[in-house]
């Protein structure tokens, strides 16, 4: 059975490559190349430990192995995209028990870019740490154990989340909390790393960071990847008894993970997904002229029209659909990074308030696939008669509402920290200009290169299709960097006139006008291009293009 499941995985990967089309195929190729490059770099880094001191090796190897484990466990959760080809769910109807399924699923999980990358890293570790004696067997065993621990932990977490998410409400929570957890870890790490690198600016925090560093050093040793790493380190210095004891501890961890996975698989095989129960209630007779319930009450300015309906729908769904909510947070997050950079945290210059434009820019630039979450549901708009201008404007309006809230908070926080309230208006104007330029570009890409986001209920973390992420990355990066080039002069002008009220007002007005003009022209071009091509867009957004 294990051989059958591995073969099935290979067949599915080949089928995905064949059906991915040109852009998907290129995306898959790029994904594999990047994975191989990361594996090669990681492996080379660990191979170079052959010339490192014992102390450095003792610090680096457990950290590196913990990193590999974290990628296996958190990767699918954070990226909302893992191989969804061999989930337990999909095999539940076959007359197969756990004993038959689990070895095959374990082996099948090793097939693919993740497995190859990990093997490359571990080969580097073996090259860098294996002693020149028969003790190399211990090093090889530790490398194999690390691979098994990573895969078992990954499968357990994936299946456990799937098992816990048999109800729609739990599925929604898992879909949102997973990526948020990943972002939070990333954010904490960024702050820690940045402030640690500048002990001069953060002397009062330095001692705490040293303590946190010590805790992390302990942590990477007690997680399941710790014993294999320690076994390798001990074997390198000829402490055979310790190495064997660490290997035994690693095997115990592996057995524990397999038992946990065993229980999770049982739950998935014996329960069926349930729908949730949202708030019930009858439709009420609205007073004449009352706003329809589709429109959020706190946004009275949304017009009761096709454009307004699309905007209201986007805002409702953006919040209610956990995938969209997670994506919204993920797209806002990179824009917040400059705000927590070392220089900004330490600075008291009012000019840093201008950085509030960064999240607005990111929210707009991340809208390169605004119809992706609609997917095949876009037929509703097409069947109602083509009006891409209104549809696109509605989606843009919803994005602008979100951006306005984020900009408001960012400007207020930065102005309060630096007492630079005089920069609030220039910052808002720069944000509006950058938002307009980036959103116009994103509109164009959205109609030219639309693709569906997967919403498979069977697998919480399935990607749209193999290679899709990389295929989408090209246009998205194009907008990100192209927009930055266009917005750069605006940012420089704002910096140049900071502190000069008159020229500052002129530049601010110019930035707003440039933003509006850029958005308006690009939006019109996008709508004109897409209107007569709605059926083709519908095909591109159809289920055959999803996983």
Contacting positions for another protein (CB under 8 A): 168, 275-283, 285-286, 288-294, 304-306, 308-310, 312-313, 316-317, 320-321, 374-377, 379-387, 534-536, 538-539, 543
> Least distance (Å) from another protein to the CB of residue 294?
4
Query: Which residue(s) pair with 462 in the sheet?
Result: 82
CB 149 within 8 A of CB 228: yes
Bridge partners of residue 274, in order along the sequence: 167
Q: Which is nearer to another protein, 304 or 419 (CB)?
A: 304
348 φ, ψ (degrees, to nearest 5) = -120, 10
| Smallest separation (angstroms) from another protein to the CB of 317 | 5
State the minimum distance, in angstroms, from the CB of residue 406 to another protein: 22
Nearer to another protein, 389 or 497 (CB): 389
CB of 301 to another protein, least distance (A): 16
Contact 94, 249 (CB under 8 A): no
Between 27 and 375, CB nearer to another protein: 375
Q: Identify the residue whose tokens are 């067997």.
A: 137
Q: What angle do CA 89, 95, 98 make, to 5 degrees?
A: 65
Pick the closest to residue 41 from 146, 110, 123, 144 (CA basis). 123
CA-based R_g, the chain, Å: 26
- Closest approach, Cβ 23 to another protein, in A, equals 18
For helices 501-530 and 424-448, angle between their N-to-C axes, nearest 10 degrees = 10
Considering the complex, what minimum distance in angstroms separates the CB of residue 4 from another protein? 23
Cβ proximity to another protein, 377 vs 500, nearer residue:
377
Nearest residue (CB) to another protein, 383 versus 409? 383
Shortest distance (Å) from residue 309 CB to another protein: 4
Q: How far is the CB of 180 from another protein (least distance, A)?
A: 19
Minimum CB–partner distance for residue 377 and another protein (Å): 5
Measured from the CB atom, the residue of 318 and 512 that comes closer to another protein is 318
**Closest separation in Å from C-beta 282 to another protein:** 5
| 222 or 304: CB nearest another protein | 304
User: Toward another protein, which CB reaches closer, 258 or 398?
Assistant: 398
Degrees, nearest 5: CA angle 80-84-86: 150
Give me the numbers of helices (H) and strands (E) for the chain, helices first please. Answer: 21, 0
CB of 149 to another protein, least distance (A): 37
Backbone angles phi, psi at 462, to 5 degrees: -75, 145
**DSSP label at 453?**
P
Number of Cα atoms under 13 Å in the Cβ half of residue 375: 14
| 190 or 531: CB nearest another protein | 531
Separation between Cα atoms, residue 518 and residue 512, nearest integer Å: 10
Phi, psi of 94 (to 5 degrees): -80, 145
Are 162 and 87 within 8 A, CB to CB? yes
**Residue showing tokens 């374990």:** 106
Output the CA–CA distances (angstroms, integers) from residue 54 to 48, 256, 301, in the order listed. 13, 31, 66
DSSP string, 276-315: --PPP-PPP-PPTTPPPTTS-TT-TTS-SSHHHHHHHHHH
Is the Cβ of residue 239 or residue 316 nearer to another protein in the bound state? Answer: 316
Integer angstrom CA distances of residue 145 from 49, 232, 254, 540: 20, 11, 8, 44
Closer to another protein at the Cβ: 230 or 314? 314
By CB neighbour count within 10 A (0-12 exposed, 13-18 middle, 19+ buried), where does 283 fall? exposed
- Tokens 């164009």 correspond to 444
CA-to-CA distance for 158 and 166, rounded, in angstroms? 13
> Which tokens in the block code for residue 307?
């454009």
Using the minimum distance from each CB to another protein, give the nearer residue, 264 or 541.
Answer: 541
What are residue 210's phi and psi, to 5 degrees?
A: -60, -40
User: Which is nearer to another protein, 281 or 300 (by Cβ)?
Assistant: 281
Q: How many CB atoms lie within 10 A of CB 3?
A: 10
């Amino acid at each position: 059975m294990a051989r059958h499941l591995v073969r099935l995985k290979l067949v599915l990967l080949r089928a995905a490559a064949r059906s991915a089309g040109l852009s998907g195929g290129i995306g898959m190729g790029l994904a594999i190349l990047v994975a191989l490059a990361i594996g090669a770099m990681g492996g080379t880094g660990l191979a170079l430990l052959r010339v490192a001191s014992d102390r450095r090796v003792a610090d680096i190897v457990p950290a590196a192995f913990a990193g590999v484990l974290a990628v296996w466990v958190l990767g699918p959760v954070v990226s909302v995209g893992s191989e969804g080809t061999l989930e337990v769910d999909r095999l539940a109807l076959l007359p197969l028990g756990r004993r038959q399924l689990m070895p095959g699923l374990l082996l099948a999980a090793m097939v693919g870019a993740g497995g190859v990358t990990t093997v490359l890293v571990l080969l580097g570790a073996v090259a860098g740490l294996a002693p020149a004696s028969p003790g190399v067997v211990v090093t090889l065993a530790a490398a194999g154990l690390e691979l098994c621990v990573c895969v078992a932990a990954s499968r357990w977490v994936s299946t456990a989340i799937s098992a816990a998410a048999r109800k729609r409400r739990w599925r929604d929570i898992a879909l949102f909390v997973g990526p948020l957890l990943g972002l939070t870890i990333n954010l904490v790490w960024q702050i820690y790393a940045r402030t640690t690198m500048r002990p001069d600016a953060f002397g009062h925090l330095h001692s705490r960071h040293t303590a946190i560093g010590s805790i992390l050093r302990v942590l990477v040793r007690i997680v399941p990847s710790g014993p294999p790493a320690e076994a390798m380190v001990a074997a390198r210095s000829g402490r055979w008894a310790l190495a064997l004891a660490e290997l035994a501890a690693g095997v115990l961890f592996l057995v524990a993970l397999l038992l946990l996975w065993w229980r999770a698989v049982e739950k998935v095989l014996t329960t069926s997904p349930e729908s949730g129960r949202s708030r019930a209630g009858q439709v009420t007779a609205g007073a004449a002229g009352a706003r329809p319930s589709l429109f959020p009450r706190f946004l009275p300015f949304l017009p009761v029209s096709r454009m307004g309906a699309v905007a209201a729908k986007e805002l409702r769904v953006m919040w209610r659909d956990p995938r969209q909510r997670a994506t919204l947070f993920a797209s806002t997050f990179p824009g917040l990074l400059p705000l927590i950079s070392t220089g900004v945290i330490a600075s008291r210059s009012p000019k840093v308030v201008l950085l509030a434009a960064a999240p607005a820019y990111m929210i707009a630039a991340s809208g390169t696939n605004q119809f992706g979450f609609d997917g095949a549901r876009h037929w509703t708009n097409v069947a109602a008669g083509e009006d891409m201008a209104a549809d696109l404007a509605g989606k843009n309006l919803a994005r602008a509402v979100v951006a306005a809230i984020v900009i408001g908070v960012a400007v207020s926080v930065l102005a309060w920290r630096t007492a630079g309230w005089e920069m609030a208006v220039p910052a808002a104007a720069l944000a509006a200009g950058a938002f307009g330029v980036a959103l116009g570009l994103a509109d164009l890409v959205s109609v030219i290169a639309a693709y569906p986001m997967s919403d498979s209920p069977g697998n919480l973390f399935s990607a749209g299709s193999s290679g899709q992420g990389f295929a989408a990355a090209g246009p998205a990066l194009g907008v990100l960097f192209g927009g930055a080039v266009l917005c750069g002069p605006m940012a420089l002008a704002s910096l140049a006139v900071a502190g000069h009220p008159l020229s500052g007002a002129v530049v601010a007005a110019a930035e707003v006008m440039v933003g509006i003009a850029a958005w308006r022209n690009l939006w019109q071009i996008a709508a004109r291009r897409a209107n007569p091509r709605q059926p083709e867009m519908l095909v591109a957004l159809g289920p055959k293009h999803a996983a």
